[in-house]
Structures are given as C-alpha cells and as structure tokens.
Amino acid sequence: MAVLILRYRDDNGASRWAKLLSAPPTTPDDVIDIIDIPITPNSTTEAVIAVYGRNPELFDDGDAVKIKAAQLQSPVTSDATLLCQGLNYASHAAEAGHHVRKQNLLFAKSSSSLCGPYDDIVRPAGVELLDYELEIGIVLRSKVTAGTVVDNTNVGDYVAGVVLCNDVSARDVMFGASFLQWYQGKSYRTFCPAGPLLYLLAPDEVATALMNLEISLTYQDVERQRAVSSDLIYKPAETLTQIAAIMDLKAGDLILTGTPGGVLVQGTPKFVDTVKTQLFDDARRREEMVVEMKTLADFLQPGETLALTMRDLHSGLSLGGQLSTIAEGASGGAPAA
C-alpha cells in the first residue's frame, strides 16, 4: 500500500525520516502530523526504501508529532545519481522548435543541486536567463545494470515511487557557455527543489500510478504549466531499459522525466539561428541569445515565487506542493540537500 514519506531537519540539525499522517503540505507555514520512522538519523533514501521493503510495519509504529513544513528537506538524498530526460512532452518539444521526437534525450544534473521544497532558489551571479521546469521525478527501488529490461509488467520491481521536482535551469549558461554547457546550467546549488514528499508505492501500484500523475506550476500567481504523465513521449519503463544499456543505477537514484510546455525560454527562429551560426563564438552567441530571449520574458527575478503541485488522479490523492522564492546570488550559503 502506498505511503507518503518525508525527510526533515530536527531541532538538533539531524535529518530524520517520517510518515505523513495529515494533509500534504503546500507552503512552509503548514503544520503537519507525522510518525517518525525508526531508522538511523541521516540515513539515505536508498536505506529507507530498503527498510520499507523488509519491514513496512515499522512505518506505523510510534507516536504522532507535529512539525512545520519549513523543516522539510529533499526526500532524495545527495548520494543519488540524477539523470534527466529532455523534450519529453510534445508541448515542450514544439515550443523549443524541435521536430517530433525520434530519440530519448538524456543528460545529467549534479546531486548537490538538490534542496528542500520550500528553500530559496538562488540565482547565481551573472545568470540572466533563469528558468523553471516542472517535472515528475522517478525514484528507483532496485539497481539497474547491463541487461536489465523493464516493461509495464515489472516496472514496480525497479521504481519505488515518485517525487515532485523543479529542474531549474540557467538558459544563458546552457546555450551561451562554451560548447553548450547543459550540465553546468542545470547543476548550481538549489537548482533541484524536490518534495515535499516521496510517494512510496507497492510494486503492483507503480505502473498505474506512473500513468496517472498530474503536475502544475504557477509563476507569480499565474499558471504556466500543467500536464499528465500519460503524455510523456518516452515512458519510465522504456527509459530505464535504455539507461541500463549505458550505465548502472542504484536504489534511491532519481530520474527527472522532462517538463511540459510553458517554460520561459522559447525556440524562436532568431534563437535557433544564433545557436547555429555562432556556435564557436561563445560571447557573441550568449549576447545575441540574451537579447532575443529578453524580448519575450523577463525570466525569474529575485523575490518572485513558484508554486508547484502533484496529484495522483487514479487514487485522487494530493501529493503536496512546493513554494520557492527566487533569491539573488548567495555567496556560498545555499541550503544543504
């Protein structure tokens, strides 16, 4: 049976795991009821998934306590490998100026980008085109290695659950830095708010849940993104099989499945021409791209807010929400994952 689990920082600064008893939080001011899970403080996501697999009854023991949602941390710990899918909704591929997808686009993101669902998103000094990407994160239950083949009949053996994510992106770094630095543009600290919850599923619940998730993102009180997981072009099972042919993954690792249409950057003819004609002139490419993109949007500015939500349409269960504020260029003081 599915459970909602979370990770929070206690009064002594230790990270603890708990099961949610009350309504899922959507703001840092929410007060929630939890039961602590009897596992060593500062344990990894992989360890919690293993405990749930062996002794699910431990998630029901203990006394309920109240905490503020502001204490919540990412339910994916920083030992995880983060892989991402790009242009995995037709709506996003179209606004980016791409033809119909014929190949899965995979790239990586630093695990030190992970932060809590209510932490500030820090805009690094010099970044002008800061953008959001609403995404469903898939958390692994077991390792994926060479020869692993995943389909809808066994996807629950490999996927433990899902988590709401924001794949924050510095577009001027991604497309303006030398040879198009996607990894750098997506890997700054605080560039992956995750949570508030890990929706931990039983193996036989996974296939249905993965087809029935609804996500939304509101920017400055205006809805900009909404999608359902059934619209993903490359589904989780197919993607895991492809990844297995390339590299190993372990339990607790995270795959971000792509963002729908509605991001701030747009693949205008001028943008595409700039990337094509100025590929080897980094300074000029970045300058022209920034000018073009700023005619369309101001991009994320300090003090602005993003609100994200996720829901399981099959069960009707809310999976909570994020609320992030954009902060200006912190000097090394980003929140720990």
Cis amide linkage into residue 196, ω under 30° from 0? yes
CB 11 within 8 A of CB 42: no
pLDDT of residue 122: 98
pLDDT of residue 97: 66
The burial of 2, by beta-carbon neighbours within 10 Å (0-12 exposed, 13-18 middle, 19 or more buried), is given as: middle
Mention every residue, 6+ apart, whose C-beta is less than 8 A from residue 30: 68, 69
Which domains occur in the chain, in start order?
3-73 (no CATH), 82-328 (3.90.850.10)
pLDDT of residue 331: 53
pLDDT of residue 332: 46
What is the residue-level pLDDT of the chain in tens, covering all 337 positions? 899 999 999 999 999 999 999 999 999 999 999 999 999 999 999 999 999 999 999 888 789 999 999 999 999 999 999 999 999 998 877 776 666 678 999 999 999 999 999 999 999 999 999 999 999 999 999 999 999 999 999 999 999 999 999 999 999 999 888 778 999 999 999 999 999 999 999 999 999 999 999 999 999 999 999 999 999 999 999 999 999 999 999 999 999 999 999 999 988 888 888 888 888 888 898 899 899 989 989 999 999 999 999 999 999 999 999 999 999 986 544 443 4
**Residue that the structure tokens 């669902």 belong to:** 117
Q: Which amino acid is at 104?
A: N
The CA distance from 317 to 47, in Å, is 25
- Quick one: how many helices (H) and strands (E) in the chain? 9, 20
Tokens of 319: 């999976």
The burial of 291, by beta-carbon neighbours within 10 Å (0-12 exposed, 13-18 middle, 19 or more buried), is given as: exposed
Give CA torsion, residues 210, 263, 83, 97, to 10 deg.
Answer: 100
Which letter, b or e, does each residue of 75-92 get, where b requires 16 or more Cβ atoms within 10 Å of its Cβ?
A: bbbbebbbbbbbbbbbbb
